[in-house]
Amino acid sequence: MTAKLVLEDGSVFYGESFGGQSSISGEVVFNTGMVGYPEAFTDPSYKGQILVLTYPLIGNYGVPGLEKDELGLLKNFESEKIQISGLIIADYSKEFSHFTAVRSLADWLKESKIPAITGIDTRALTKKLREKGVMLGKLIISDDVCFEDPNKWNLVEEVSTEERIVYNEKGKKRIVLIDCGVKNNIIRSLVARGFCVIRVPWDYDFSKEKFDGLFISNGPGDPKMCAATIKNIAATMEKGIPVFGICLGNQLLALAAGGDTYKLKYGHRSQNQPCTDQQTKRCYITTQNHGFAVDMKKMPSDWKEWFRNENDCTNEGIMHNSKPFMSCQFHPEATPGPVDTEFLFDKFWEMIK
């Protein structure tokens, strides 16, 4: 079935539909990773977005099964469902082969009712998004739809847990994890280090909880939509309790500290972003998925830049000069991507006395 992508600037790209049959609208963004589409598609940080994959051949290793680990989390996915609104690729591989595969990518997308188009010139599309910036778009499979900007509503509220959940009750150090759209491997990474993880909704008042540290997760959309989260983080910082954030958590920590954030032209979505530790000058290759960044020029004087992106010099992490507060913009838990910065979870453990 012929389908098309229409961008808000009037550009039209034609292709072939191979996913769900409903038309949708969203923010069109691109990811330059070569592998890891099952993990990427289920990353809650992609909520409201139409994802363009720059790697040309997609679907050749199928989709793994729904096995769960000892924590009750899906082993092969980063959440319970596909989070992207739609998918755009250059070449769909109908035949797949992998020892974990149980179904094709097309079948998974159809079951999840996620529209997808193949046959698009993704190089031309990505160049347009780099030059003009990410823009709204709509995948038209059947009926037309209106352009909608997902950044205008609270996407975090849509992906956060609705209840308090505890993992590893016997852990030696108790931490509250604010779920703004947390990836499964973040929870696994914390539990593997001995933490008892208390996972709470994005706006949950955890002031009466007994905990040794606070963790702020990744998530989608504009961080300024999370006013309740920012207020709770600030209250925790006033008590001097150790805080660690990842991705959206970096932005929320900055806002709670009195800083500011802004929207990037086209964001960082890939598995090969070079980031340098500003204290040691060592560069790490990281996996990323974010469209907003911290404005270091507006951070209070008692904060310093921890990491910096070597491609565009944007902020990739902040750290308080004297108190146990820190965060990174990239994903040390990977899935997909390199695990070069996984040691940051150990640093959080050591930070909690």
Residue 34 scores a pLDDT above 80: yes
- What does the pLDDT read at residue 243? 98
Could you give the C-alpha distances from 118 to 129, 138, 339, in angstroms and in order? Answer: 18, 15, 31
Domain boundaries, the chain: 2-152, 155-351
Over residues 42-75, the pLDDT tens digits come to 999 999 999 999 999 999 999 999 999 999 999 9
The single residue of 180, 247, 275, 328 carrying the catalytic annotation is 247
For the question of residue 333 being annotated catalytic, the response is yes
Class of domain 2-152: alpha beta
Q: pLDDT tier at 20 (50, 70, 90 boundaries)?
A: very high
- State how far the Cα of 344 lies from the Cα of 328, in Å rounded to an integer: 9
Across residues 23-40, what is the average pLDDT? Answer: 96
* Higher-pLDDT residue of 151, 328: 328
Residue 40 scores a pLDDT above 90: yes
Residue 186 scores a pLDDT above 90: yes
What is the four-CA torsion angle of 245, 249, 251, 253, rounded to 10 degrees?
A: -60
The percentage of the chain sitting over the pLDDT mark of 90, rounded to a whole number, equals: 99
- What does the pLDDT read at residue 319? 98
Q: Is the pTM of this model over 0.95?
A: yes
Q: Are strands 243-246 and 213-216 parallel, antiparallel or unpaired?
A: parallel
Could you give the C-alpha distances from 15 to 8, 117, 321, in angstroms and in order? Answer: 18, 6, 52
The percentage of the chain sitting over the pLDDT mark of 70, rounded to a whole number, equals: 100
- What does the pLDDT read at residue 121? 97
- What does the pLDDT read at residue 161? 98
Radius of gyration of the chain (CA): 20
Q: pLDDT tier at 142 (50, 70, 90 boundaries)?
A: confident
- What does the pLDDT read at residue 37? 97
For the question of residue 148 being annotated catalytic, the response is no
The single residue of 27, 39, 78, 333 carrying the catalytic annotation is 333
- What does the pLDDT read at residue 145? 94
Q: Can you spell out the DSSP letters for 219-244?
A: -SS-GGG-HHHHHHHHHHHHTT--EE
- State how far the Cα of 252 lies from the Cα of 131, in Å rounded to an integer: 28
Over residues 153-172, the pLDDT tens digits come to 999 999 999 999 999 999 99
Across residues 25-45, what is the average pLDDT? Answer: 97
- State how far the Cα of 184 lies from the Cα of 15, in Å rounded to an integer: 33
Q: End-to-end alpha-carbon separation of the chain, Å?
A: 60
Amino acid at 10: G
CB neighbours of residue 346 within 10 Å: 12
- What does the pLDDT read at residue 353? 75
Over residues 274-305, the pLDDT tens digits come to 999 999 999 999 999 999 999 999 999 999 99
We find that the CATH architecture of domain 155-351 is: 3-Layer(aba) Sandwich (3.40)
Residue 185 scores a pLDDT above 80: yes
Over residues 100-125, the pLDDT tens digits come to 999 999 999 999 999 999 999 999 99
For the question of residue 342 being annotated catalytic, the response is no
Residue 30 scores a pLDDT above 90: yes
- What does the pLDDT read at residue 1? 82
CA 29, chain centre distance (Å): 13
Over residues 308-324, the pLDDT tens digits come to 999 999 999 999 999 99
Q: Are 4 and 14 in contact (CB under 8 A)?
A: yes
In the predicted model, what is the mean pLDDT of the chain?
97
- State how far the Cα of 171 lies from the Cα of 192, in Å rounded to an integer: 10
Over residues 200-246, the pLDDT tens digits come to 999 999 999 999 999 999 999 999 999 999 999 999 999 999 999 99
